[in-house]
């Protein structure tokens, strides 16, 4: 029997959820619920999918739902879904507060249901093209810049955008945080629109994150530095450039470029543009969600991992707000 899956929320992200899930043959896409009646009619008509007038009816008909509502409602919608025995996939961040996240995790455990969270960069093919087992970073910097959106401003940019990079960083470093310094500024909304955080981990790795939603153009880049190596990941354009330094000229093939740095200690830089497969990250996320429900082997981004990312994001935001008051 096919899994019955629906979508809650038909805004910018919810529309993508509906389109992707409706194209997956191995599930039965039940339809969607959207609180805004005008939007509900528009999406149903344009995508030719079933609309639900009541959330409770959708939850009753489904084995699982994806939640793409405003962040402040994530907890309440997910709680209702879990109580109706639905597995849930929640767009990031998992909730607005750690207390809400912890309550959902406890409820999911009680109901024996899956929670996965849409930290989509975890499934970006550029990120997954990097062999993390060979990454031992000493310094990481990330820039995530975006033009001002007409959505998502119910939460600070740290919870809206920076949390993507926070999740990725925690997947790479996997150590406890030692110290955080952060600054942010509200420019055009009532919450933080521009933020910078400097994070020092217990192993000495330093991370510098810059995030803005008032940029003229988009940027989604992360640079990872370690001894004799530098990896540049472009999440937006889905490219990976790997640079390694050598004291002696390394062997080469036609795919690599060798640069020479002259001086008292001559160095050779080997540049390898890592091949990135052409895959859709959201489709991979949903495949992992479906597979986890079927096998009970969580291969997606779990609620526990998402709660750790949220905890660090909230700590950064609290520091920003504390500094702003002074």
Q: How would you class 35 by CB atoms within 10 Å of its CB: exposed for 0-12, middle for 13-18, buried for 19 or more?
A: middle
Q: Where are the alpha helices (DSSP H) in the chain?
A: 12-22, 37-47, 55-61, 74-83, 98-111, 125-128, 157, 163-173, 281-295, 303-325
89, 78 contact by CB (below 8 A): no
Determine the distance from the C-alpha atom of residue 99 to the mean position of all C-alpha atoms in its chain, rounded to a whole number. Answer: 20
200, 178 contact by CB (below 8 A): yes
Judge if pTM exceeds 0.85. yes
**10-residue mean pLDDT series, the chain (326 residues):** 96 97 97 97 97 98 97 97 98 97 98 97 97 93 91 82 97 96 93 96 98 95 96 97 87 73 81 94 96 90 97 98 78
Phi, psi for residue 7 in degrees, rounded to 5 = -125, 135
Residue 251 is predicted with a pLDDT of 75
Determine the distance from the C-alpha atom of residue 174 to the mean position of all C-alpha atoms in its chain, rounded to a whole number. Answer: 16
Which residues partner with 239 through β-bridges?
234
Residue 254 is predicted with a pLDDT of 61
112, 179 contact by CB (below 8 A): no
Phi, psi for residue 65 in degrees, rounded to 5 = -135, 155
Distance CA 314, CA 221 (A): 22
Task: Label the pairing between strands 27-33 and 3-8.
Answer: parallel
Strand, coil or helix: what is 262?
A: coil
Task: Label the pairing between strands 194-201 and 206-212.
Answer: antiparallel
Residue 114 is predicted with a pLDDT of 97
Distance CA 34, CA 41 (A): 9
Residue 304 is predicted with a pLDDT of 97
Distance CA 173, CA 168 (A): 9
- DSSP designation for 162: I
**Domains defined for the chain, CATH in brackets:** 3-120+281-300 (3.40.50.720), 122-276+313-325 (3.30.360.10)
164, 298 contact by CB (below 8 A): no
The pair of structure tokens assigned to 88 is 């849930």
Distance CA 98, CA 308 (A): 9
Residue 152 is predicted with a pLDDT of 58
Distance CA 168, CA 72 (A): 23
The alpha carbons of the chain give a radius of gyration, in whole angstroms, of 21
Task: Label the pairing between strands 219-226 and 229-234.
Answer: antiparallel
14, 7 contact by CB (below 8 A): yes
Q: Give every CB contact of residue 325 below 8 A, 6+ residues apart in sequence.
A: none
Nearest to 4 by CA among 24, 29, 22: 29
195, 244 contact by CB (below 8 A): no
């Amino acid at each position: 029997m096919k899994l019955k899956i629906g979508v809650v929320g038909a805004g910018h992200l919810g529309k993508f959820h509906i389109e992707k899930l409706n194209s997956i043959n191995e599930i039965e896409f039940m339809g969607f619920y959207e609180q805004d009646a005008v939007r509900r009619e528009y999406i149903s008509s344009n995508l030719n999918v079933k609309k639900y007038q009541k959330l409770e009816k959708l939850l009753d008909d489904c084995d699982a739902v994806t939640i793409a509502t405003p962040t402040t409602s994530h907890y309440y919608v997910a709680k209702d879904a879990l109580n109706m025995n639905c597995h849930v996939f929640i767009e990031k961040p998992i909730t607005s507060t750690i207390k809400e996240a912890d309550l959902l995790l406890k409820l999911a455990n009680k109901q024996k249901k899956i929670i996965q969270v849409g930290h989509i960069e975890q499934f970006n093919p550029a990120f997954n093209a990097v062999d993390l087992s060979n990454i031992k970073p000493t310094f990481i910097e990330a820039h995530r810049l975006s033009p001002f959106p007409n959505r998502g401003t119910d939460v600070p940019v740290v919870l809206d955008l920076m949390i993507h990079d926070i999740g990725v960083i925690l997947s790479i470093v996997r150590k406890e945080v030692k110290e955080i310094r952060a600054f942010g500024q509200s420019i055009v909304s009532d919450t933080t629109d521009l933020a910078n955080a400097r994070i020092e981990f217990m192993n000495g790795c330093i991370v510098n994150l810059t995030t803005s939603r008032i940029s003229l153009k988009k940027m989604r880049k992360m640079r990872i530095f370690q001894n004799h190596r530098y990896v540049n990941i472009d999440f937006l354009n889905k490219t990976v450039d790997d640079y390694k330094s050598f004291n002696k000229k390394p062997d080469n093939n036609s795919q690599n470029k060798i640069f020479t740095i002259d001086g008292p200690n001559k160095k050779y830089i080997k540049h390898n543009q890592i091949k990135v497969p052409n895959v859709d990250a959201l489709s991979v996320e949903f495949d992992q969600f479906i597979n986890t429900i079927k096998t009970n082997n969580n291969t997606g981004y779990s609620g526990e991992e998402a709660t750790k990312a949220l905890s660090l994001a909230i700590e950064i935001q609290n520091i920003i707000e504390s500094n702003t008051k002074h």
